[in-house]
Every structure is written in structure tokens, then in C-alpha cells.
Amino acid sequence: MKRVCLVVLDDVVKDARVLKLKDALAKEYDLKIVGITEAAGENPPGIILARSFWFSQLVKVKNYMKTRTDTAAKGGTANQGFSFMGLIRDLFRHFYFTAGSRAIYKELKKIDSDVYHANDLDVLGPCARVAKAKGAKLVYDSHELYLEMGLFRTDYMQKRYLAMEGRLIKKADKVITVNRFIAEELARRYGVPTPEVIHNYPEPCNSVPPKRGDTTIRVLYQGAYGPGRGLDELVKSAKILPEGYQIYLRGVGAYGKILEQLAQNTGSLDKNVFFLQPLPPNELIEKATFADVGITFNIPYCLNNYFASPNKVFEYLSAGLAVISNKIPFLEEVIGGRSGVLIDEVTTQSVAGAIVQFTSSNIMNYRVAAYESSKKYVWEKEKLLGVYRSLFG
């Protein structure tokens, strides 16, 4: 049996794509996973955690910085030329990636595998080194346009990492990504063949929209709390919504406290804005079916957001929820007009205007259409296995 090593510099216990890769590949390959986790206790079964004292300290600093940034920020920005604080931030990120890469590499050297599967750019370097040393195959799985998320604020660091990705992507035996827009951009940017697209759709779901017991329209956001996601506008929209509309938010992140305070200040908290406890990924679809409409906004302040295909959209569709989003290319193709409403600009007024387009008389038409469309958007396990089989064909 061929051996596969999945590698991620992220909380492997919470990374939905990595967990789906694991379940799909484990049936045909001898599988190992190398990553990190913030969960307490022993290693999860089958997962090797990359441990390093210095890296663990940098993780703590990164989480502290993210909390402070979320608490202060109102929106995201891409790289912005040169600034002293931007340079300090960039140097920290560089040290963080370097320390993480070394911790991952230390573990990978101990593992003999036929394939090293790098989930995103931050582990592509150590995977490429080990694959070359051991004569193994290298798969680069670009979950997003990693360097277009505003990670680096100075042109120097941005160009340095772009050059690194351009060099390493050519070493991969297979490159895969999550939608055709990112695939086309990677091919154009680095002069490589267009990557294979394996969409990050959810597992098939048997939930169906429940029959309505009242006329209330329930709107749900679930995902990470943070600035630049249209959540301020969503919470503020509650104040101008008519009776019969409720907003629910289920997420994680320090920015949730800011949103709760905003709802408190506008008099909406526990009146028509409610905050729910977070859930593990495998429960999100089932527990979303109480709602009628799912919310996702990808403010296109960077190319990664503009080309995004957010996971939560497909979770909403699988739960039979209509969707409200802003217009970005991928969602214009998926949502159209039958499964939800797309808005040009995310403002308090436009969000409220989109919400009130759903009424007790038309919501089930939208929900049934959403659920029916979800049958097209299921995890592409066989396509993934086909890519792997071609490695050894």
C-alpha cells in the first residue's frame, strides 16, 4: 500500500479540508498527518504534532496579536508598501513561518512516504525538501491565494514570498486548488499548467428544509468572527429590520465580543440578535437547519477574497438555507437568483434590504431551491482519488 503524508501548519483538528482529505485517502493509502493543534491533551489518533518550544511561543504571540488586531480593526488591507510597523509585523510572520517550517521538517524527516501533500504555502518548503531527499512525490494543495490575504504589508516581503512560491510550485508533481479562478491565477502568475480543481464542498447531507411553524425569518451567520466580513453591518441592520426577522451568529474569535457590544449598544442583543455557541465542523450543517437564510460576505479588499469560494456557502445550501452574499465571481455562478440574493456593496442598508426580500410566503421556494442545488456541490472524493492514482499510473 502506498504511503501518503498530509502536512498542514494549522490546527489540524479544525481544518475541514484536511479532515476530508484524511477520510478520503485513508481507504486506499497508508496515511499519516503532520500538523499542529491548540487542543489540550494527547495527540489525536493518527496525527503527529510538530512540537518546538520556540514555535509554540510564536503561536502564543500570533494568537495574542490576532486578538489585539481583531479588537482594533475595522477591515482588512492587502500589502501597503513600506511602513515601520508593517515591517515589524512582516518580520514576525517571517520568523513564525520559518520556525513552523523547521518544526514540520523535523517531523517529516522521520517519516518515509511515497507522497508528501503540502496544504498551503507555509508547509510547501519542508515538504519539497523531504520529497526530494526521499525520492517521493510532492502535491501542493493551495487552499487559497495565500499571498493575497494581506499577510505581508511590505512590498519586499511580498515579493520575496511570491518568488518562493513560484520556485516551489514548479517542483510539485501535482498542484490542486479549490476553484477555477484560483487555478487560472496560479497558472498565469507562475507559468505552470492549470492546477486540478477539487472544490472544498461538504460531505453529502441528508437534511431537508423542515416545514415552517411560524412566520419568523431567521438569518444565520456561522464561521470565524473578524473585521472585514460584513458582520458589523449585519448586526447594525437588525435595528432597521421590521418585526418578524431575527439574526443569529455562531462563531469563534475575539471580534465576537465587539459584535455583542455593538448589538447591546443598538438595543438588539437578545431582542432580534442572538449569539450561539460554536460547534465542531461535523455538526454545522445539521444544526443550521433551524434558520432560513445564511449570510456570507467576502469583502474584496484583496484578490484572495475576490476569488474566494467560502465553505460556509455550501454548508448553508446543504442545510437548505437561502444565501445572502456580496457579488464575487464564484458566488455569482453558484447563487444566481434562485438560491439567494447577491448585493453589490455591503452596507447596513443593503444588508437589511436583502434580508427583507425573504418573506414567509416565498422563503420555502428559496430553501427548496437551495437544497436541490446543494446536490451538485458535494465533496469530490473520487476526483481526489483520481489525482492520486495518476501519480502512480
- pLDDT tens-place string over residues 141-181: 999 999 998 888 889 899 999 999 999 999 999 999 999 99
Percent of the chain beyond pLDDT 90? Answer: 67
Where does the chain hold its CATH 3.40.50.2000 domain(s)?
3-201+379-391, 217-374
170: Cβ contacts below 8 Å, ≥ 6 apart = 190, 192
Q: Report the CATH number of the 217-374 domain.
A: 3.40.50.2000
43: Cβ contacts below 8 Å, ≥ 6 apart = 49
- The 8-class DSSP code of residue 154 comes to S
CB of 227 closer than 8 Å to CB of 255? yes
Segment 295-342, tens digit of pLDDT: 999 988 889 999 999 999 999 999 999 999 999 999 998 997 789 999
Helical pair 124-134 and 84-108, crossing angle rounded to 10 deg:
30
Query: pTM of the predicted model, to two decimals?
Result: 0.88
Classify domain 3-201+379-391 at the CATH topology level: Rossmann fold (3.40.50)
